[in-house]
Chain A
Amino acid sequence: MADSPYDTLKIKPDAGAEAIKKAYRQLVKQHHPDSGNGSADAFRKVQEAYELLSDPVKRRKYDAVRKVLLDQKPRDDEERKSSYPGTNPNYPSWTMGGYSGSGSIAFYSSSASSASVTSNVYTQPVYSMGSQQPIGHLINASYTTISISMVMSPSSNQYKAMSAMGLRIGDVIRIDPNTGMLGYTGLPLGQIQSSPTGVVVSGSGVLHFDLIIVSATGTISTQITDALRKMSGMSGVTATVSISQSP
Chain B
Amino acid sequence: MDKAIVPGSIKAVAKGGDVALAMLDAKIVLLCDRSSSMLEKDAFNRKARYEVEDQIVKRLQTKYPGQIVLVSFRDWSDIHPDGELPYPSGMTNMTAGLEKAQPLIEAGLRAVLISDGEPDDPYSVMELSKQLKGKLDVCYVGPEGSGGQRFLHEVARVAMGTFDTNDLKNPQLLEERITRLLLKAG
Interface 9-mer from A68-76, A126-134, A169-177, A235-243: A68-76
Give complex CA distance A223, B118 in Å: 14
A143 to B88, CA, bound (A): 24
Q: Which of A62, A75, A215 contacts B20 (CB 8 A)?
A: A62
Tell me, yes or no, whether B5 is within 8 Å of chain A by CB.
no
* Max chain B C-beta neighbours (<10 A), residue from A52, A68, A69, A81: A68
B24 x A121 contact (CB < 8 A): no
A2-B16, A4-B20, A216-B143 are known contacts. Are A223 and B87 too (CB-CB below 8 A)? no
Cross-chain contact B103 with A121 (CB below 8 angstroms): no
Q: Chain A residues near B37 (CB, 8 Å)?
A: 213, 215, 221, 223
Known: A68-B103, A222-B36. A2 touches B78 (CB 8 A): no
Q: Report, as a range, how many residues of chain A touch the other chain.
A: 35 or more
- Within 8 Å by CB of A121, from B18, B40, B121, lies B121
Least CB distance from B5 to A in Å reads 14
Distance in angstroms between the alpha carbons of A219 and B88 in the assembled complex: 16
Does any Cβ of B come within 8 Å of A14's Cβ? no
Q: Does chain A have a CB within 8 A of B100? A: yes
The reply to whether B24 and A62 form a contact with Cβ atoms under 8 Å apart is yes
* A66 proximal to B (CB < 8 A): yes
Decide: B19 and A2 in contact? CB cutoff 8 A: yes
Number of interchain pairs (Cβ within 8 Å): 96
Name the contact of A68 in the complex, choosing from B18, B35, B104 (C-beta under 8 A): B104
Does B79 count as interface, using CB distance less than 8 angstroms? yes
CB–CB B147/A61 < 8 A: no
Whether B104 lies near A121 (C-beta < 8 A) is no
Report whether B40 and A215 are in contact in the complex, using a CB–CB cutoff of 8 Å.
Answer: yes
Interface residues of A in 204-229 (CB under 8 A from B): 211, 213, 215-217, 219, 221-223, 226
Q: Which residues of chain B come closer than 8 Å to A4, judged between CB atoms?
A: 18, 20-21
Instruction: Pick from B16, B17, B24, B41: contact of A65, CB below 8 A.
Output: B24
Taking a contact as CB atoms closer than 8 A, the residue among A65, A68, A223 that contacts B90 in the complex is A223
Give chain B nearest CB distance to A219 CB in angstroms. 6
Chain B 23-45 per-residue mask, 1 if CB under 8 angstroms from chain A, else 0: 11000000000011101111000
| Chain B contacts for A75, CB-based, 8 A | 78, 86
B-side contacts of A223, CB under 8 Å: 35-37, 90-91
Residue of B nearest to A67 (CB): B103
- Residues in A neighbouring B176, C-beta threshold 8 A: none
A residues near B39, Cβ cutoff 8 Å: 221-222
- B-side contacts of A77, CB under 8 Å: 86-87
Contact with B along A72-95 (1 / 0, CB 8 A): 100101001100100000000000
Distance in angstroms between the alpha carbons of A223 and B89 in the assembled complex: 7
From B79, B91, B118, residue with most partner A Cβ within 10 Å: B91
Select one of A61, A123, A217 contacting B108, CB under 8 A. Answer: A61
A2 touches B107 (CB 8 A): no
Find out whether the CB atom of B79 lies under 8 angstroms from the CB atom of A69: yes
Asked whether A65 lies within 8 Å of B146 as measured between CB atoms, the reply is no
In the bound complex, do residue B120 and residue A121 qualify as a contact, i.e. CB atoms below 8 Å apart?
A: yes
Instruction: Kindly identify, within residues 4 to 26 of chain B, every residue whose CB is under 8 Å from any CB belonging to chain A.
Output: 14, 16-21, 23-24
B interface residue numbers (CB < 8 A to A): 14, 16-21, 23-24, 35-37, 39-42, 78-79, 81, 86-91, 100, 103-104, 106-108, 118, 120-122, 143, 146-148
Q: 20 additional contacts, CB 8 Å, given A68-B103, A77-B86, A215-B37?
A: A2-B16, A2-B18, A2-B19, A4-B18, A61-B103, A62-B20, A65-B23, A65-B103, A65-B104, A66-B20, A68-B100, A121-B118, A123-B147, A216-B143, A217-B40, A217-B42, A221-B36, A222-B36, A222-B39, A223-B90
Between A and B, 15 residue pairs with Cβ closer than 8 Å are A2-B18, A4-B20, A61-B106, A65-B104, A69-B79, A72-B78, A75-B86, A80-B87, A216-B143, A221-B37, A222-B36, A222-B89, A223-B90, A226-B36, A226-B91
